[in-house]
Structure formats: C-alpha cells, structure tokens
C-alpha cells in the first residue's frame, strides 16, 4: 500500500493544480442589420474597450454576395459609425458567449 501511495503522490505532483482563473476582454465584435432606401444592409465593427474604440467597420448587402459600391459605403459609413458609438444598446449582460 505504501508503494501505491508513493506512486499516486508522484503522479499528483506532475499535474497542474489551478488556484485561480481570470479573463481579460479587450475587444468585442458588434453587428447590426438595417434598411436604407429600401435595401437591407448589415454592418459590423470591432470595439476595443481600452484602445481604439469603434474600428474596422464593415458594411455589406444583407441578402447578396455582392459587395457594396464605394459611394454607398461612404454614404453609410458615418451613420453606421455614429450608431455603433452612441446608440448601440447591448451591454455586458446581453453578450453571446
């Protein structure tokens, strides 16, 4: 029995024993769907909480594989950016993990 206890102790000494866990979230990905002049669009961005804030905004046609043309993107960009910065209503309790 003593030999078994010794082998068990050796195995236990080679296994990690986690004493604490933590996570640091530094960014979120946000997405919205919206209508503009009778066309459905989607937009996404990265929100770096302790960094650049709202960045990397993408806008796309919701029901098409086609990309949007640059003049439409430019027309929508400021409104979409403002929405993400000021009007986005999802807080930490609504996040999907």
pLDDT digits (tens, 9 = 90+) for 27-83: 889 999 999 999 999 999 998 878 888 999 999 999 998 889 999 999 999 999 999
CA 47 to CA 53: how far, in whole Å?
Answer: 5
Which pLDDT band, with edges at 50, 70 and 90, does 96 fall under? low
Determine if the pTM surpasses 0.75.
Answer: no
More confident residue, 29 or 94: 29
- Residue 70: other Cβ atoms inside 10 A: 8
Contacts of 63 (CB under 8 A, 6+ apart): 40
Which pLDDT band, with edges at 50, 70 and 90, does 24 fall under? confident
């Amino acid at each position: 029995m003593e030999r078994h206890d010794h082998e068990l102790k050796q195995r236990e000494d080679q296994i990690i024993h986690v004493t604490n866990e933590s996570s640091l979230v530094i960014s979120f990905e946000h997405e919205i769907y919206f209508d503009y002049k009778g066309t459905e669009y989607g937009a996404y961005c990265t929100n770096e909480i302790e960094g650049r804030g709202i960045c990397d905004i993408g806008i796309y046609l919701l029901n098409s594989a086609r990309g949007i043309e640059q003049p439409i993107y430019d027309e929508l960009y400021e409104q979409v950016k403002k929405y993400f910065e000021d009007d986005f209503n999802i807080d930490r309790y609504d996040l999907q993990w």
